[in-house]
Amino acid sequence: MHIKINRPQPGVTLLEMIVFIVVVSIALTALTAVYNQSVSRSSEPLIRQRALNLAQAKMDEVLALKYDAMTPTGGVPACDSIGAPACNNATDSDMNDVDDFNNQTDTPYSGYQRVVTVTLLNDVKRIQVRVSAPDASSILLTAEKANF
């Protein structure tokens, strides 16, 4: 007589399969959450770079101009110096000196607003360019121009 012994069959049990599916589901959920967060923030560097470029372009434009309308071409002699006319530090529409940009606002791109302010502090003009971006962030650049 021949006795047959039941041996377990090789393979995966139903319980092992369910545990595997649960573990993989948890891992995929975590990875998907991280992926969604990174995708939602992927435009931030582009927005900030454009805002910085806009601020720098306006700052370069303003700094390339004369200190004051009464400053002669070449800057010598500086206004308010001996034998030179007095500085007027006034804003006018000819856009030929730093003062003319005070309180200037423009919208170079949709959603971006650029504001320039010029303040006089001890014969030095402080120029500030602030660019507000569509994501409610802003960039502020500050420079000073002296009368020399």
74-122, pLDDT tens digit by residue? 778 888 888 888 888 888 888 889 999 999 999 999 999 999 999 998 8
22-81, pLDDT tens digit by residue? 999 999 999 999 888 877 777 788 899 999 999 999 999 999 999 998 888 777 888 888
Return phi, psi of residue 75, to 5°: 85, 0
pTM for this predicted structure: 0.71
Give the pLDDT band of residue 6 (cuts 50, 70, 90).
confident
Predicted local distance difference test score (pLDDT) of residue 1: 63
Structure tokens at 94: 């000819």
Q: What string of H, E and C letters represents the secondary structure of 67-118?
A: CCCCCCCCCCCCCCCCCCCCCCCCCCCCCCEHHHHCCEEECCCCCCEEEEEE
Q: How far apart are CA 45 and CA 144, in angstroms?
A: 28
Place of tokens 């034998």: 83
Q: Is the dihedral of CA 80, 87, 77, 119 positive or negative?
A: positive
